[in-house]
Amino acid sequence: MTIETDASPPETEGSTTPVTPTDAETNDPKANEDKETSETAAKTPETTPDELSPQLLSSKLADEERLLDAYRELKKVKEDDLTKEEKERMKLAEVCQANIDLMKKDIDPNWNDLGESTSNYRYQRMAYKVETQPVRVDMQIESPVEESLILPLMATLNEVDLYPSWFPNWTRPAKFRVVRAETLKKLGKCSQVFTVRTEAPLATVEFYVNATVVDDTDSSKELVVNLEALEPGAFDGLVPPKEEKINRALLSGGLMFRKCPEEMVERSKALRSKSKKANEEKIVLMTLSVVYENRSKFLNANIFMRQMSKFMLRVVIGAIWSRVIGVAQDIRDGKRPNFEKVMKEKKEVYDWAKVCADKMVT
């Protein structure tokens, strides 16, 4: 016969049954508070992007470099409910959208159209307008490029500190070189405040720019860099006062990668097919729009100044653009170890850029 026994120790007078924390609250107030917090968290479902308020979602999208998508969310909010930061975000987005609209327009018939160039088996078109009272130059360049050049082109233009390694360095027929190129502040994955100083014909010129990268590939399959000219004192004094004997210019505009019109794709492929290095790839359209201003400079529109303007725009800008394309090709082909090193160090940034480029062409 088996006799069942109670394994619990017998109670003695004055003793109590042991109580575990699961049976009753512990005497530690902090532990009780943590327990209540964890229970509340367990009962609260995780918020998904679809459930965020427009303002919270806008902030999240802005952190992901999706400025235009962030703007679209803020448009759902009453103006009186917007914070100062949100209003500034909307203002920047509106400037960016205006630059995008400008880059999509046909070239103004009042501009000087330099026509189409087919050098190096590449199709590109450039046009500009010059004003002298005060000095202002509007310029636009568009060029179809292969899918494999998107990331190298972004690296070429994004790595400001490497500009001196590839910019033209001339002493004749006129002096032109970069004497300073520096990123002053990183604002996101690729967004940044930077400065460039050049020794150019007749003067040394510098400018400060806020470059904002905008990933709009989910909504429009467009990747944009908005260029905002900065005045002295901007970014809490990051932009210094103008130095004597240095011309402080304003540089604004934008760079955009987008779907290339089919007719331009066919022409570009036909031209590239004549090159032994050409591969069958998808083509995107790259457009650069720049406004250069020096509001304190007034020039007489004489023959010399007109010729100098033509030289700077036709020769200098044309050479810089060709260098940009050439450097990007070298990066793609593994011929620029300095860029390769930097891109490896910033792997997260360029992995993100690669995802954006892939979304644009799919």
DSSP class of residue 48 equals P
Averaged over 74-90, what is the pLDDT?
Answer: 96
Q: Are strands 247-248 and 203-216 parallel, antiparallel or unpaired?
A: parallel
> For residue 285, is it within any domain?
yes
Q: What is the pLDDT of residue 220?
A: 95
Identify which of 319, 258, 327, 316 has the alpha carbon closest to the alpha carbon of residue 292. 316
Separation CA 323–CA 120 (nearest Å): 12
The answer to whether 224 and 209 are in contact (CB under 8 A) is no
Q: Which amino acid, residue 176? A: F
Record the tokens describing residue 82, joined without a space. Answer: 């917007």
Record the tokens describing residue 192, joined without a space. Answer: 């940044």
The residue assigned the tokens 């070189």 is 177
* Three-class secondary structure of residue 143 per DSSP: strand
> For residue 1, is it within any domain?
no
Is the Cα torsion angle 160, 161, 166, 168 positive or negative in sign? positive
Separation CA 362–CA 359 (nearest Å): 5
What is the overall mean pLDDT for the chain? 84
Separation CA 349–CA 354 (nearest Å): 9
User: 142 φ, ψ to 5°?
Assistant: -135, 140
If one counts the domains in the chain, the total is 2
DSSP class of residue 123 equals -
Q: What is the pLDDT of residue 121?
A: 80
The residue assigned the tokens 């007109």 is 306
Say whether both 89 and 155 belong to one domain: no
DSSP class of residue 166 equals T
Least confident of 39-43, 146-150, 224-228: 39-43
| 16 vs 246: which has the higher pLDDT | 246
CA angle (263 as vertex; 259, 266 as ends), nearest 5? 95
- The verdict on whether omega for the bond into residue 164 sits within 30 degrees of 0, i.e. cis, is no
Q: What is the separation, in whole angstroms, between the first and last Cα of the chain?
A: 80
Say whether both 191 and 310 belong to one domain: yes
CA angle (223 as vertex; 122, 70 as ends), nearest 5? 165
Task: Show which of 89, 105, 121 is a domain's final residue.
Answer: 105
Say whether both 100 and 135 belong to one domain: no
For the chain, the C-alpha Rg in angstroms (whole number) is 29
Task: Show which of 58, 73, 105 is a domain's final residue.
Answer: 105
Say whether both 341 and 250 belong to one domain: yes
Say whether both 101 and 115 belong to one domain: no
Say whether both 336 and 260 belong to one domain: yes
pLDDT band at 356 (very low <50, low <70, confident <90, very high): very high
**How far is C-alpha 138 from the chain's CA centre?**
21
Q: What is the pLDDT of residues 100-128, one digit of tens each?
A: 999 999 888 889 888 788 877 888 889 99
> For residue 12, is it within any domain?
no
> For residue 42, is it within any domain?
yes
Say whether both 200 and 122 belong to one domain: yes
Identify which of 196, 173, 180 has the alpha carbon closest to the alpha carbon of residue 315. 173
Output the domain CATH number for residue 324.
Answer: 3.30.530.20
Say whether both 351 and 257 belong to one domain: yes
Say whether both 58 and 169 belong to one domain: no
Q: What is the pLDDT of residues 196-248, one digit of tens each?
A: 999 987 789 999 999 999 999 999 999 999 999 999 999 999 999 999 889 99
Burial of 150 (0-12, 13-18, 19+ CB in 10 A): buried
Task: Show which of 74, 89, 105 is a domain's final residue.
Answer: 105
Say whether both 101 and 111 belong to one domain: no
Say whether both 111 and 96 belong to one domain: no
Cβ neighbours of residue 268 closer than 8 Å, sequence gap 6 or more: 122, 123, 144, 260, 283
Q: What is the pLDDT of residue 11?
A: 44
Domain interval for residue 52:
26-105
pLDDT band at 253 (very low <50, low <70, confident <90, very high): very high
Most confident residue range from 90-99, 165-174, 264-273? 90-99
Spell out the alpha helix ranges (H) of the chain. 29-43, 54-63, 67-74, 84-104, 150-158, 234-237, 262-272, 303-310, 317-332, 337-345, 347-361
